[in-house]
Homo-oligomer: A and B are copies of this chain.
Amino acid sequence: MKRTLGTCYYPEHWPEEIWEADARRMAEAGLTWIRIGEFAWSRLEPSPGDLRFDWLDRAIEVLGQTGLKVVLGTPTATPPRWMIDRHPDMVAVDVNGHPRKFGSRRHYCFSHEGYRQESDRIVTLIAERYGKNPHVAAWQTDNEYGCHDTIISYSEAARDAFRLWLKARYGTVEALNRAWGNVFWSMDYLSFDDIDLPNLTVTEPNPSHTLAFRRFSSDQVVHFNKRQVNIIRAHSDAPISHNYMGRITDFDHFKVGDDLDIATWDSYPLGFLEDRVGADDAHKRTFMRQGDPDFQAFHHDLYRAVGRGRWWVMEQQPGPVNWAPYNPAPLPGMMRLWAWEAYAHGAEAVCYFRWRQAPFAQEQMHAGMLRPDNADAPALIEARQVADELRNAPDVSAPQAPVALIFDYEADFAWTTQPHGAGLSYFQLVFDTYKALRKIGVSVDIVRGETRDFTGYRIVAAPGLIYMPQDLKQALAEANAPVVLGPRTAARNADMVVPVPLPPDMPGLEVTVSRVESLRPDMPMALTGGGAFSGYREELETAADVVLKLETGEPAVVRQDHLIYVGGWGDATALQRIYRPLCEEAGIATRELSGGVRCRDTDGFRIWTNYGAEAAETPAGRIEAAGVLFEKL
């Protein structure tokens, strides 16, 4: 497939007189896709029922006539101020019980039926009007579900909907009491109407309660999105997408993705390095102007899975942003590198956010492809280079990778509910595993927790899957590849209760986790021969072979046939010691990558990227700082 470029454009921000010049300049720069409309509700419907679609008609026409393709967004992330008058209780409520007021964006609770109907109404109006428009080539629902911590709401609407959700799941309140162990601390309920949201409790609430509320909150997003999708589909054949945000794990992206045609995500490497990668200061200094060398790749692989192969970068950082603690400018070349890295992972399109820097409002310090004074900004210059390169580039596509790494949002809900040690998170555990594989040059497919067919994979990695249904256990037990389990594998049942027999209780693997402990980060437990478990480890009773031992003599990593169990949180060295021999065994070539150099295999090409601030050597030759290198395979 031919890869493409795009941008995000806000015709409502600019005088109509300059739209045509803008469009021409976009096309000349080699852009294909223009996303519009997703924050425009107050201009489409300035007051209730007063519909003004004419300007949007003209904007789409101008873009379309210039040969550009429009991605049309539904404006539901920014309901206008008058909406609050119609539905004063539609706003989300924070963990302290404070309403989250109008004045920015995402000021709605997913559980508020009144707002859901408003969403239906505006989406219907837009879908009817533009469903057959020849220039509207794709759709986007809402914008960045979950950004600004907007999934979990402690509103009355959420409470009422949660009760119904619980009733549907458990049938009777007695069943719920039993499933949650509410006998503990006399927390038994007499009716579903007794059940409150798990905030402001005296000490922590029942983890079964918290996990149920997180699952419910995720389902509310799926439902909200599905309603929009159903309406759009009824009027349009164009594919439908949503733009996910980096490291948001409060809802199940796969389940939302099941209703979409394309997954997209918003990639801000420098902002993320500062505010969500989880890196230490030394790492942040090293990659201040480049971003973490693995974080984007991880999400690329994640969204390729969420989109069942079809995915984009919908917003690509174009320069300094406004929202991180520190907002430096990228190293020259990075805006090209990021695009090529996305293509290497199979992205159909990369769109820079945004066309022209807005001089006003919240993102006035967020760079664009144009400066506010219309001059070319560096992003435009680098995008032009990518466009040139794409013209002559071969099609690239993402073949099945040799390694499958399972990522399961419900596991993240459960770890968040009960990390057991300060700072432990499922996302970080999976990301650490991903980094370990990427640092030895191995391409990875991320697969969802519902996967049962692992055909074609030569290694399956399933760290931290705290709940594992029986059929997944069976599928892994029968897999034709080494399967890496642990820590915390199957440590809870579906209701967040410790199962008996004790975990992992895995067919074909004689291992029992007899006791677990969380460790101070400054007190890792060393492995004989190098590496350590850090933060968390398990005591194993086992008849399996001991692959790695702790210096205490206790088993750390054990193996029986193709099943490997890792009884702790491995540091980078430990993970290398686990995965490198498995790669050898599986015939997966590995290489030692250092600094910011990484590679990813596509059909026919290995694409090298250098996140380092210095040039480096690769097996395929020298690669410049912020450089991209194409190695023919």
What is the interface of chain A, defined by CB distance below 8 A to chain B?
Answer: 10, 12-13, 39-43, 46-47, 75, 78-82, 92, 94, 96-107, 147-148, 150, 180-190, 194, 196, 198-209, 274, 281, 284-285, 288, 319-320, 322, 325-329, 357-365, 367, 371-373, 375, 377-378, 418, 420-422, 497-502, 514-520, 522-523, 539
Report Cα–Cα, A188/B82, bound state, in Å: 9
A201:B81 contact, CB within 8 angstroms? no
Report Cα–Cα, A43/B325, bound state, in Å: 50
A518:B181 contact, CB within 8 angstroms? no
Residues of B within 8 A of A100 (CB): 200-202
B190:A81 contact, CB within 8 angstroms? yes
Report Cα–Cα, A363/B184, bound state, in Å: 9
Q: Across the two chains, which residue of chain B brings its CB closest to A374? A: B500
B206:A362 contact, CB within 8 angstroms? yes
B365:A516 contact, CB within 8 angstroms? yes
A354 CB to closest chain B CB, in angstroms?
11
A13 CB to closest chain B CB, in angstroms?
6
Residues of B within 8 A of A207 (CB): 361-362, 364
A93 CB to closest chain B CB, in angstroms?
10
B517:A43 contact, CB within 8 angstroms? no
A349 CB to closest chain B CB, in angstroms?
24
How many copies of this chain sit in the oligomeric assembly?
3
B516:A320 contact, CB within 8 angstroms? yes
Report Cα–Cα, A319/B523, bound state, in Å: 18
B516:A206 contact, CB within 8 angstroms? no
B186:A325 contact, CB within 8 angstroms? no
Which of B147, B202, B209 is within 8 Å of A148, CB to CB?
Answer: B202
Report Cα–Cα, A371/B523, bound state, in Å: 26
11 more contacts with CB within 8 A, not counting A102-B196, A206-B361, are A13-B183, A42-B183, A98-B200, A99-B200, A103-B202, A105-B185, A105-B186, A329-B515, A329-B517, A372-B498, A372-B500
Which of B104, B150, B203 is within 8 Å of A205, CB to CB?
Answer: B104
9 contacts between A and B (CB under 8 A): A103-B198, A103-B201, A103-B206, A104-B201, A285-B523, A320-B517, A326-B519, A329-B517, A371-B514
B43:A186 contact, CB within 8 angstroms? yes
A82 CB to closest chain B CB, in angstroms?
6
B367:A326 contact, CB within 8 angstroms? no
B81:A194 contact, CB within 8 angstroms? yes
Residues of B within 8 A of A82 (CB): 190, 194
A588 CB to closest chain B CB, in angstroms?
36
Residues of B within 8 A of A46 (CB): 188, 190
Residues of B within 8 A of A514 (CB): 371, 375
Report Cα–Cα, A208/B328, bound state, in Å: 23
Q: Are A196 and B360 CB-contacts (below 8 A) given A150-B202, A327-B517, A373-B502?
A: no
Report Cα–Cα, A200/B92, bound state, in Å: 11
A515:B202 contact, CB within 8 angstroms? no
The 10 A-B residue pairs with the shortest CB-CB distance in the complex, in nearest-first order: A181-B360, A184-B361, A42-B186, A359-B498, A103-B201, A78-B186, A325-B422, A42-B188, A148-B203, A181-B361
Q: Across the two chains, which residue of chain B brings its CB closest to A178? A: B360
B186:A75 contact, CB within 8 angstroms? yes
Q: Are A199 and B101 CB-contacts (below 8 A) given A46-B188, A96-B96, A180-B361?
A: yes
Q: Are A362 and B184 CB-contacts (below 8 A) given A47-B190, A367-B515, A515-B320?
A: yes
A200:B101 contact, CB within 8 angstroms? yes
Q: Across the two chains, which residue of chain B brings its CB closest to A288? A: B523
B319:A515 contact, CB within 8 angstroms? yes
A43 CB to closest chain B CB, in angstroms?
6
Report Cα–Cα, A184/B366, bound state, in Å: 13
Residues of B within 8 A of A358 (CB): 181, 184
A203:B420 contact, CB within 8 angstroms? no
Report Cα–Cα, A76/B180, bound state, in Å: 22
Residues of B within 8 A of A329 (CB): 515, 517, 539
Which of B205, B284, B328 is within 8 Å of A517, CB to CB?
Answer: B328
Residues of B within 8 A of A499 (CB): 359
Which of B182, B327, B420, B519 is within 8 Å of A361, CB to CB?
Answer: B182
B186:A41 contact, CB within 8 angstroms? yes
A185:B78 contact, CB within 8 angstroms? yes
A328 CB to closest chain B CB, in angstroms?
5
A542 CB to closest chain B CB, in angstroms?
15
Q: Are A103 and B209 CB-contacts (below 8 A) given A189-B81, A367-B515?
A: yes
Q: Across the two chains, which residue of chain B brings its CB closest to A84? A: B194
B372:A107 contact, CB within 8 angstroms? no
Residues of B within 8 A of A104 (CB): 185, 187, 201-206
Which of B201, B372, B523 is within 8 Å of A102, CB to CB?
Answer: B201
Residues of B within 8 A of A421 (CB): 325-327
Q: Across the two chains, which residue of chain B brings its CB closest to A502? A: B373
B320:A418 contact, CB within 8 angstroms? no
Residues of B within 8 A of A539 (CB): 329
Q: Across the two chains, which residue of chain B brings its CB closest to A424? A: B326
Report Cα–Cα, A317/B513, bound state, in Å: 20
